[in-house]
Amino acid sequence: MAPDCWIGLDLGTSGCRAIAIDADGSTIASASTSLPAPESPSPDALQQDPELWWQAALAVLRRLQANLDDHCPRALCVDGTSATLLLCDSEGRALTPALMYNDARALSQAEQVAEQAPEDSPARGPSASLAKLLYLRAQVRRDQALLALHQADWIGGRLRGRFGDSDWNNGLKLGFDPEQLRWPSWLGRLNLSPIQLPQCHPPGSDLGSIDPEVAAILGLPAEMRVCAGTTDSNAAALAAGAREPGDAVTSLGSTLALKLISECALQDARSGVYSHRMGDRWLAGGASNSGGAVLRQYFSDAELARLSERIDPDRPTGLHYYPLPRPGERFPTPDPQRTPRLTPRPAEDHLFLAGILEGIAHIEREGYQRLCALGAPRPKRILSTGGGARNEKWNRIRARVLGLPVETASQQEAAYGAATLARGL
């Protein structure tokens, strides 16, 4: 009998990736393809044709299937970028372009949401799904039933041939209440008609079998199940190994993003802290404006590698930097007027670099302290992802500043995290 495997499908802004894992969590196959850059019809607008996602998904799943080595796929889970939203009809035909996660044109609609939504709601703001829903509703006819679906929702629907389902995580910025497990009553005051909100399910739960025609096109078994999805950042945290309360994941990308497994939900909309429900636990987090974008302003990759070799990670610099790429901070302390502090600059470049790395580590420590002050457990270990996680000197600086073990996550692909959801973790 063929051994089982499980598939994770990750949709991002620039590409699509699929990974298949076996019962032990080992990767047995992977495939990826690029996506065209989102269109920008105005400075604050970013959108994509959803059909591009579907063609990319078909391409990578065909390629993946060809390399499964006789493994039998049992289930598939999709993750997508948070708050990327489109409107479609009941048959899944896209009626609008998809507004991307960082599209910020729905300013007046965000004001409408703010008049009704609680102050700590993640559905507030122009980049949240709910404001985008209201913006898109004004662009289409209102004499037909409409579905509001996220990137992962729509791709999962195409795979199943049935639409109208989402998950607790993608639904969060559309207004779904993951504590009460329902759409809150205040949404009714926005008069969303004729738009139908999706039914939200636990991430990784079984939504039904793959559409037989799609299965035949892809060469996948007709009995393969399609699971409720999640967001890309949550899938990446699961891939890194976050499972138990106190497990923390720091993403060292262009920005510094923190996630921490908690037994209770944390909310602080002012600083962008909110929580995604994963079973009976919560993945709480926030993101600073500090991060790798600051390093890019001063150093090339080659310079970062060369100068890092000269850093003594056990010796504090005493520089007390607050590295920001431009004025303004959101987390751990929101302050739109916060100015970067990157002076005095030492004569030696490796000391300047050490001061920046140390400054970001101090922000990381303050971020976890902020999450703990809101009710999260103290981190037991820090799992690191992103490009910065490869810098061993930085990891040693962070371990000193944080007073905690710092590990580079062995798995960093969101598609891997989605595959673990399909497997049932």
The residue-averaged pLDDT of 171-191 equals 97
Name the segment(s) of the chain with CATH classification 3.30.420.40. Answer: 4-234+415-423, 243-408
Confidence band for 157, pLDDT divided at 50, 70 and 90: very high
Q: Which residues contact 410 (CB under 8 A, 6 or more apart)?
A: 241
Q: What mean pLDDT do residues 338-363 have?
A: 98
Mean pLDDT of 121-141: 94
Q: What is the pLDDT of residue 141?
A: 83
Q: In DSSP terms, which residues pair with 18 in a beta bridge?
A: 9, 31
For domain 243-408, the CATH architecture is 2-Layer Sandwich (3.30)
Q: One-letter amino acid identity for 14?
A: S
Architecture of the domain delimited by 4-234+415-423: 2-Layer Sandwich (3.30)
Structure tokens at 36: 């065209």
pLDDT at 3: 96
pLDDT (tens digit per residue) in 286-331: 999 999 999 999 999 999 999 999 999 999 999 999 999 999 999 9
* 11 DSSP β-pair partners: 16
Burial profile 231-250: b = 16 or more Cβ within 10 angstroms, e = fewer: bbbbbbbbbbbbeebebbbb
Question: What's the pLDDT at 27?
Answer: 97
pLDDT in tens, 189-206: 998 999 999 999 999 999
